[in-house]
Amino acid sequence: MGAALWHGFADMGAVQRDGAFVVTRGDGAYIWDDGGKRYLDATAGLWFTNVGHGRTEIADAVAAQLSKIAHYSNFGDLTSDVTVALAERLAEIAPVPGSKVFFTSGGSDSVDSAAKLARRYWMEVGRPSKKLVVAREKAYHGMHVGGTALAGIPANREGYGELMADTRTVAWDDAKSLLALIEKEGADAIAAFFCEPIIGAGGVYLPPEGYLTEVRDICREHDILFVVDEVVTGFGRIGGSWFASTRFDLQPDMVTTAKGLTSGYVPMGAVFVAPRVAEPFFSTGVWWRHGYTYGGHAGAAAAAMANLDIIERENLLADSKRLEASLHEHLSPLAAHPRVAEVRSGLGAVAALQLVDPAEALPFVKTLRVFGISGRAAGQGAMQFSPAFVMTDEQVAEMAAGVAAALG
């Protein structure tokens, strides 16, 4: 079974030998495999199922939209009514008032769009030398050519040659390293700095105290666009706010988003573009020759509207904040286990359990399944926790107990 499917980020020889883990349904914070066994979903899919599995309200909204018009195009002056409505709704919760919303098909699209727009913006305002795009060690910015080149995970870049010129990497935890790069290259050479508020796929690393505001101020002082990658933290996962950019007053020039926009029910992403960056393209006859066939997809927009309805109606932003504390309370004691190097938690509905031996990470994912937990390895030997906002404190305690049992 499944011999034709090529999985992403996988040892396909091992998958062919051992078989795939096939998920057949989900409900709330649980999923079931093809053998009928139930698991706590520790990761909300791939960080995205914020409202939980099995929300028929979203499925019904998509079905209703598809029966009217599934999608048309967002190129030129074309769009659909639900896409316009979603853009207006997102503009109301955007971290920067007056932001424009550019729709994509997912997070990797959003990152590459922001990287292109950053360079094109400086061209339009008469500063074409500003081309360098900077990101951090450990950072993950999707798997398109631009995002792969930009990210700070060397293993993801190996074997491709130079993917994109004019990218640079600085330390993930020291704002002074960004200053040092500016001094070396010159501010007139740097277009943008990309920053995840919480480093996600690179291992769930929380920002050092004051780091985010410090890099924000450095970008402002040196006239470098500050791009906040909220593909993971956006739409509530930061805890208590729609965006980390709002929670920490980051005043970004652009915000890249995806995952929680639809809770993964349909692929969709969006880039929030602050008025400063959008202005040259809205005040003149300049075209930004960029876009995606499925950007602003009407069915996806309907899913997003229903998803946002659920988050607001059930006050799931508050539940994300509750999970911030609950994950920290129940997982942090596991740091005392001899197989555990540290637990990173206490900010947002995310956590990581760092194993002493990174080689144990992938086998440990399978061990967790024995104890009824579907988990994932991230970074170098870390277990990722990013549950749906509907996971209860009792379920968090159950999950932590299962992890403890798996550790032995």
Where is the domain boundary, 313, 337, 367?
Answer: 313
Q: Which residues of 101-137 are buried (b: 16+ CB within 10 A; e: fewer)?
A: bbbbbbbbbbbbbbbebbbbbbebeeeeebbbbbbbb
Question: What residues make up the domain containing 91?
Answer: 59-313
Check whether residue 163 and residue 238 sit in a common domain. Answer: yes
The secondary structure of residue 28, as a DSSP letter, is B
- Do residues 40 and 402 make contact, with C-beta atoms less than 8 angstroms apart? yes
Residue 1's pLDDT is: 56
Answer yes or no: is 1 within a domain: no
CA 144, 145, 149, 154 torsion-angle sign: positive
Answer yes or no: is 2 within a domain: no
Where is the domain boundary, 313, 332, 361?
Answer: 313
CA distance 108 to 264: 14
CA 307, 311, 317, 322 torsion-angle sign: negative
CA distance 55 to 64: 15
Check whether residue 156 and residue 184 sit in a common domain. Answer: yes
Q: Name the stretches of the chain with pLDDT < 70.
A: 1-2
Q: Read off the pTM.
A: 0.98
CA distance 86 to 148: 29
Where is the domain boundary, 284, 313, 342?
Answer: 313
Check whether residue 39 and residue 152 sit in a common domain. Answer: no
Structural domain count of the chain: 2
Check whether residue 308 and residue 367 sit in a common domain. Answer: no
Check whether residue 275 and residue 322 sit in a common domain. Answer: no
The secondary structure of residue 68, as a DSSP letter, is H
Residue 284's pLDDT is: 83
Check whether residue 28 and residue 69 sit in a common domain. Answer: no
| CATH label of the domain that carries residue 392 | 3.90.1150.10
- Looking only at the bridges linking them, the beta strands covering 225-229 and 190-195 are parallel
- Looking only at the bridges linking them, the beta strands covering 254-257 and 269-273 are antiparallel
Check whether residue 25 and residue 154 sit in a common domain. Answer: no
Residue 264 C-beta-side C-alpha neighbours within 13 Å: 16
Residue 285's pLDDT is: 87
Q: Copy the structure tokens of residue 153.
A: 């995970």
Check whether residue 227 and residue 250 sit in a common domain. Answer: yes
Answer yes or no: is 3 within a domain: no
Answer yes or no: is 6 within a domain: no
Instruction: Encode pLDDT of 296-334 as tens digits.
Output: 999 999 999 999 999 999 999 999 999 999 999 999 999
Check whether residue 33 and residue 145 sit in a common domain. Answer: no
Beta bridge partners of 170: 136
378, 376, 379, 366: which is closest to 406 by C-alpha? 366
